[in-house]
Structures are given as structure tokens and as C-alpha cells.
Structure 1
Amino acid sequence: MDKDDFGDDFLWGTTISAFQNEGAALKDGKKASIWDTFTANTDNVNNSDQIGEATAFYTNFAKDIASARELGLKIFRFSLSWSRIIPNGTGEINKKGIEFYHNVIDCCLENELIPYVTLYHWDLPQSVEDKGGWINRESITWFTNYVEVCINNFGSKVSNWIVMNEPMTFVGLGYFMGYHAPKRKGIVSFMKAAHHVVMSIAEGGRVIRRFQSNANIGIALSCSYIKPINKLPKNVRAAKRMEAMLNRFFLEPLLGLGYPCDAIPTLNTIRAYFKDGDNEKMAFDFDFIGIQYYFRVIAKHSLNPPILFANEVHPTQRKANLNAMNLDVFPKGVYKLLKFYSKYPQIKQIIISESGVCYPDHKVNNHVYDARRLQYHKSMLKQVLKAKQRGIKVSGYFVWTLVDNFEWREGFEPRFGLIHTDFETQERTIKHSGLWFKKFLNT
């Protein structure tokens, strides 16, 4: 396997996010996001980690972008912080925030990197959450106004947009389980937030298209390869329900197919939050779908949780290849997922918009050894190439992530980067996985 096998037009990239990398949480006019509020409570974060300056991307962006170019990557995907651009979520625009992102975009272009800009990567302005956040239907208007500001300010330089990142993750963990910010719980909270997010994604896509007809517009969706624990019908049905929730729930309404009530009839209750015209307005004609696959799920029938009536057999209870977060790493699953998504005729292109794994690094002098991460990426790429050679329209592979960063509730311990970060000094060291990509992409 070499780079040429993928074709000249294959997109090689890396991905970061505003909250996990920027730091400068309240600098130059920015106000708090829900994640600034959430992580301020040390009980919410593993090892009581405090994010501080994260990876100081706010001041280090030029070095990090230059490092991405050094590794031979062609795409730099990053997210905009809503509360840095519109500190209160609505109203006055922060000129310093606009200036910062212009500098980042210009730096990408100077380094011959194509910017792929994510408009929303989980960090809702706290001021918006104080009004109900995604539970409030007005969030659709607030979000589309924010999108319009971004397109008007950056559209002359950026033509590749990802409207939102992993809606199932931030809605499910943040508005149903209370495990992530903003710590809301319950099925009503989830249903309201989920529907408003679907509507916001579609409306956001239409805003981009209206102002920039030639834009390349996508969405980045989390997904898992799901398999029943055995062939017993009740466990097969449980896996189908879990697949509907994790892999279909946000995708299908955006494709014009509605919510997957065929697998989970109780999802019909979401219609209580519809307004006239929502059925049509939920859909948008995306140019690409980004899929983000990190772990396999083995499912079995269970009476809890209700509605889903399915549970995961935890990876620690079976023979699984565990990462540092005890998730089941299974590279062959990405091929199966690419086959799954390729069956939707509405999907024009698929990009692996995030792919990464957290394992402990071994730093010796000026070397950082991460053989398991390197093997992971090689294995994933073999599966992606297999899919491409069999006619599946997969057109890119974006590594999560460029530099080790702050991994949300898990804090600084899980390391995903191609580049090692010393969080005390902000010193960067390219890991062996990064050196492999450098050789692979530059030969």
C-alpha cells in the first residue's frame, strides 16, 4: 500500500477543534461556552484536569499549521468557536474573533493547506444555553444567524464547510445522559434537542448554499460498527435498534428519509416537537457525508434502557483490543460502515472526517514511540483502500488529531495526536506515527 493507490484526488487531512485546542477562553472578547462552564467544575473531568490554555492554538496556530504541511497533509480541518465570533450567541459580532480566524485561514492558504471549516463542534455559547440551548426551538434561528455571519466573513476564502460535528454525541451525552456539557438528562430533553439540531443542520446548509452557490458542504457523523453478541433473534433485533440510534438517527432525516421509526417505533414521539413544514425542511442535499468511527459495539437485548431495549457488552468483559479509554478498537469495522453508508443513493461522497486512537506514548529523549497508533492507521487505511477499490465513493482520510489535546470529559490523559504535546511547556514532538505519515505522503 502506498499513497498512489488512493489516487491523486484523495484528500489527506488532519482535524482539530476550537475548544480542545485554542485556549484563550475569555481573551479578546470571547465569552464562555458550555464546555468552559462544565470543565470549570473539577468533578466533571477525569483526574480533575483543568483545560487552562489547552494546546494554546490561539497563539501557536502558525507552528501547528506549518507542522501539518511538514507531515505532507493537504487538508486542515478546524472548528470555529461560536462564542468567540458572537460572544453572547446572538447580537454583537466580536471583531477580534473574526480577525483570529482570518489569520488561521490565511496561514492555511500560505502553507498550501485547504481549510475545511467546521461551524459547530460542541461548544455552544453559555448565553444560548441559558435560554434553553438546543431544547429551545429558537436555537434554529440563532444558529443560522451565526452561520450567516461566518459565511459573510470567511466565504471569500473558504469553500469547504462542515455544518456540525457528531450531533449524536453532543445531543446524546449532553442532553440525554448528562455525561457531557450541559449536563441535561431525559428523553424529552433529548428529543427536543435532537429535532432542533437536525433542523439547524439543514437550515445551516441552506444558508451556506444561498450565499455561496459553489460551496462544498458536509456533515460529520459519529458511527459505530454494531454486531449482535449472537444470532438469537432478540439480540439481532437489539443490534438493529442500536444501529438505528447510533448510525441512522441523524443521517436519515437529513437525507429526507425521516427518523428511523421502523426500527424504534417509539421515536414517533419526536413528532410532538414538529412544526408545519418540518418534514421538508429537515432534508438538505449535502455534497459529502463525513463519518467518524472509533469503536465497535457488541449489542445484546436488555430491558434497560427503555425505548432502545439494548445494551453494549462492555469491551472489558470480552476479548477486545482496548484503547486507553477502554473502547473496542476494530479497524475492519470501517469497511463495513463504508458499505453500509454507500447503500444510500442520496450520499454523493464519503470522507473519513476523523480517524484516530488513544494509546499511551513512550517518550525517550527526543523520540516518541507509538507503535500501536501507527499500526492502527495502517490497518484503517488498508480497509479504506479496500472499500475504494470496490467502488465505494470514499474520497478522504482526516487524522484525529494533529497534536495531543484536551479530550473533553476525559481530560489530558487520552492522547490521539500525531504530534506529542508537553502540556506544561507546549513543546511539540512528532511521534513515530507522524513520521510515518510524513514519509508515506511525501514519497
Structure 2
Amino acid sequence: MKNKQNFIWSTSTCAFQIEGGRNEGGRTDSIWDEFTKRNFYIPPIGVPGREINSIEQAADFYHKYETDSLIMKNANLNGFIYNLDWNRIFPKNYQEINPEGIKWTENFFKKMIENEIRPIPILFHWDTPLWAQIQGGWENSEILIWWRQYVKTMFKFLGKYTDIWYVNDENSTFTLAGYLDIYLPPARNDKTAFVKAIHNLNLSGAIAKEEFELAKEKGYISKDSILGIVHDWNPPIPYDKTDKNDLKAIEIYNQWFLHFWLDPNMKGKYPEIFFRWIKENNIDFKISKKDLDFLKKNTLDFIGWNYYRPCYISGVHKNISEELLNRPTEQFFTKDFKIVYPIKDVLYTDWKWIIDSSRLVSGSLEMKNIYGDIPLMIVENGLGAFDDKTGDLIKDFKRIEYLKQHIEAVLEAKRIGVNFIGYSLWTYCDIYSPSGGYRKDYGLVSVDFNSSNKTRKPKLSYSWYKQVATSNGKDTSIDLNKLEKDLKNELKNWSIYMK
């Protein structure tokens, strides 16, 4: 493996979005298999709408991880963040380990190491085993017994391959859209279910940390290994910097969307705003002192940050003309602020996500001030777009421009003292998107989803990111003539083993 002191240039992805092989190797269904089968819907061509497509094959990483590791090596990447699949390891219950699942995962890690790429696993990303969900899933405290067995097994078999781990990825989106809404599985839309689920997810972080330290004592994991949590905080910007109500709304937003999701696992406590919300909504659930003490005793080591965009916040009573907005305002489970999408001087993606790297530096400094000088890593950052794949070259200029400004912001934050250890973009290749199916392109590498082989082809952004990684971030320039020449050379030399 490359010197661990090197800055990590990585890509990130998630099992249910890339892997395929969903019923191979002893695996059974998870909540995402059930959800996509039950809600399968592909809008007509040219008609807007959410595509919920099959994940049975996805980008077929299950069969093509060797191919993909060569493509990553060719780009001089030295890291690969992967959201693991609990259900591939324990497909029936929490006691019976699936040997085929262990073997496949270990072979995939070995192949990455062989190509000088550090595998960086995330233990859980939204994909609860169906056998666990049938028994209550994250609402049932028994899941913590099942979870402990899972993480012990992962540390035992995979600990020797990596020194960087994450527990959970985007607990916020998972619980808000899956427990206070029906947008994502398990589609509970129940406040009590939400409170139980998020508390058990937080306890899962503490359990993982406890088992992580035990795994170090047993020699499964190196003593200097670190375990973190990934959060998708969108740093706020006041809609009107002179309006005290907007500034107050920012404070409340951060209590919910920063502190509520990170404090339990980074500080061992909940913000008071959460307990007030439980009381105001007459939710019959108590968080015991024993649980709080356990969280406090087993805090995590560092933070992974999914930065895609900031958000504009206003006071809840502010009236803003629809003509001034790109899309309707949003409110969440708390009604003390709203998110607005101004048109003036704001850029948007094809999917109406704000494009603005300005809060990456200041936001990382805020987290440093709150959580100390701990390691920080960008785990997800990328541009979802409709890439034009009709020509010989896939010229995703917008993606390159987006990545350039964000990577330069990371390097600037590092220069002024933020302990950034790496940058990982979302994502390596085109995959299944929960919000856009196979229509929403994120990858550096294109996947032909209509081919049985799921053929890979590099985009212009692949050549650019290779330039960045090879120069260790020193060359983020965009010379389109050079990049097109580089991409043509890539295609000319694109081995049969990389297709």
C-alpha cells in the first residue's frame, strides 16, 4: 500500500448502487431490493419523474471489481471508499456468516491492495437486511445485538487490509426520507419510529467503536487505525444577511442539521433541541442515562463529510415571491426555518442542486472549531448530470469545472490548517441513483447499462482527475485541448481488461 501519510485521492460508491449480483453468492434481499421491486417505475422518455429501476445488476461491480481496480490504478488513485453490504455477510440472520460473502469481499479488498489502492469501508449505508427489517429494523433495539456480530466479523476478516473505517453514511437522509417520509425505504413516516431509529443508529456507532478497540487488542486492526462517521451537512447561508430572523433560523438549522447528527457520536450527547422536540410531539420514548454514558465512553475518531452544496436559509415567516426562486421552499420535521432556492446569482445542476464551493472552507473551519483538530475527509462530492454519450468522447466539462472548484477549496482549507486527510469524489462510475435511477450520471467512467457486459468507458473528467491525483493536487488546471488529447490516448490504450 502507498505511504499512508500521502493525501488520499479516492472515489466513493455504495454496494446497492453499483454492485449487482444481488441474489448471487448466498445473498438474500435487503430493504432496497424490496423497495425497488415494489416501486419499479421508469418514466417515458422526455417525461420528468423519478426513475426507480432494478438494482439486480446495477454496474455489475460484483463481477467487475478486478476490471475496476485496474481502471482506478490507471488513474493513479490511492483510495476507494466502499459502502459495504451487511446482507451479503449475514443473509439469513445475525448468527450464520455467509462464507461466499466474506470470500468475495476479502478478494475485492485484496485486489485493491494489489493495485496500491487503500480500501476504505463504510459499514452501513441505508441497506438494512430484509430479515432484520421484518423484525423491526432500526426501531428494534435487538438490532444492536445483530449489528455487533456484523461489525466484529468485518473487523476480524477485513481489518488487516485498511486503517481507515467509517460506521454510517448519511444517517440524516436515511432517517428523514425513510422514517419521517416514504421517499426511501423502509418508508415508515412515523415520528416515534424516527426517534427509535436514529438513537439505535447512534448506539451502533458506539458499539462499532467498542468492538474496534477490542479488534485492535486482538491484532485484527492496526493500533493507529481510525473509525469515523459520514454526515451530509449542507452549510447554511442566510437568505438575507441583514435579517435577524434569517440569522436566528441559521442557528436553529445548525442545531438540527449539524449538531443533532454528529454530536451523539463525536461528543456523546444530544442537543437539547432534540429532547424538546420529543416532548412537543408527545413521543413515548426515553433515552436512558446508560445509553448516554455509553455514547460518551465510545466517541468516534473523525468525520467524513459529504459536501455537494450549501443551502440558503430564511426565517419561517418570510414571504418570498415564487418569481425569485428556482424551486419551491422546503421545510422539514421542524418548522423553525425553511430552505430557499434563490435564482439571482446562484448556479444549479441539471437536477436543481446548488453549485457553490464557497462554504467548503468556512464550513470545515466551523467543524474544526466544534469538534477539534481531528481528521476530516471529503467522502462524497460530485456532479449529477445528463452526460452526452453520443460522441466518441464524453466531454463532461461541467463536471470538471465543478470538481475543480471544490478540490481547490479542500486544498485551501488544508493549507490554512484544517486536517484534511483526503478527498473522495462521488462516484467512480455511473451507477444507480436513488433519486434518478440510471438517468443521473455521476461517474468519471461511463457504464453502458444496455450492454450485458456493462462496458466501461472513460470520460473527460477521468483524464482530468488522473491529472490531479498524479500531481497530488498541484495541477488542477483545465486545458481542454490537452485533456481531449489525453482522453483519446486513454481510449487508444484502454485495455480489454478495462472494458
Q: How does 1:19-418 map to 2 (within 5 A)?
A: 19-42=16-39, 46-213=50-217, 214=223, 215-230=225-240, 231-256=242-267, 258-261=269-272, 265-266=276-277, 272-283=285-296, 284-302=298-316, 305=332, 307-314=334-341, 319-418=345-444
The 10-residue stretch of structure 1 (15-24 or 48-57) with the greater mean CA deviation from structure 2: 48-57
Unaligned runs of 5+ in 1: 1-6
* Cα deviation, residue 48, structure 1: 4.4
Which letter does structure 2 place at the counterpart of 1:427?
T
Partners of 1:100 and 1:41 in 2: CA distance: 28
Cα distance change on mapping 1:21 and 1:239 into 2, 3 Å: same
Q: CA deviation at 1:157?
A: 2.5
- Contact residue 289 and residue 347 of structure 1 kept, 8 A: no
Q: CA deviation at 1:382?
A: 1.4
1:18-73 superposed Cα distances (whole Å, 9 cap, x missing partner): 10011111112101111111111235772342233000000011111111111111
- Residue pair 2:41, 2:53 contacting (<8 A) in 1 also: no
Q: Secondary structure at the match of 2:176?
A: helix
1:290-323 Cα deviation digits (max 9, x unpaired): 11111221122337656342221135x6553212
Aligned with 1:405: secondary structure? coil
CA contact 2:40–2:53 (8 Å) conserved in 1: no
CA RMSD in angstroms, aligned pairs only: 2.2
Q: How far apart are the structure 2 equivalents of 1:420 and 1:151?
A: 33
Q: Distance in 2 between matches of 1:64 and 1:239?
A: 42
Q: Does 1:442 align with 2:455?
A: no
Contact 2:373/2:419, CA 8 A, preserved across alignment: no
CA change 1:351–1:184 in 2 (3 A) is: same
**SS of the residue aligned with 1:223?**
coil
Per-residue CA distance 1:264-301 (angstroms, 9 max, x = gap): 84256789332341112123343321111112211223
Query: How far has the Cα of 1:220 moved from its partner?
Result: 1.1
- Aligned partner of 2:380: which letter? E
Matched with 2:481 is none
Q: Deviations over 1:353-372 (max 9, x none)?
A: 11111122123533111111
**Is the contact between residue 266 and residue 371 of structure 2 (CA under 8 Å) also seen in structure 1?**
no
State how far apart, in whole Å, the 2-side matches of 1:365 and 1:8 are.
40
| Aligned match of 2:477 | none
C-alpha contact 2:260 2:274 (8 A) present in aligned 1: no
Corresponding residue for 2:476? Answer: none
Preserved contact between residue 324 and residue 414 of structure 1 (Cα < 8 Å): no
Q: What amino acid does structure 2 have at the position aligned with 1:365? A: G
1:92-151 per-position Cα deviation (integer Å, ceiling 9, x unaligned): 111110110011011001101111111111111011111111111112221111101111
Question: Which SS does the other structure have where 1:12 is aligned?
Answer: strand
Secondary structure of 2:308's match? strand
Residue 419 of structure 1 corresponds to: 445
8 A contact 1:21–1:405 mirrored in 2:
yes
TM-score w.r.t. the length of structure 2 is 0.83
Deviation of 1:335 (Å): 1.2
Q: Which amino acid aligns with 1:387?
A: A
Structure 2, gaps ≥5 residues long: 43-49, 218-222, 318-330, 472-499
Are residues 306 and 400 of structure 1, via their aligned partners in 2, closer, same or farther at CA, if it must alter by over 3 Å?
closer
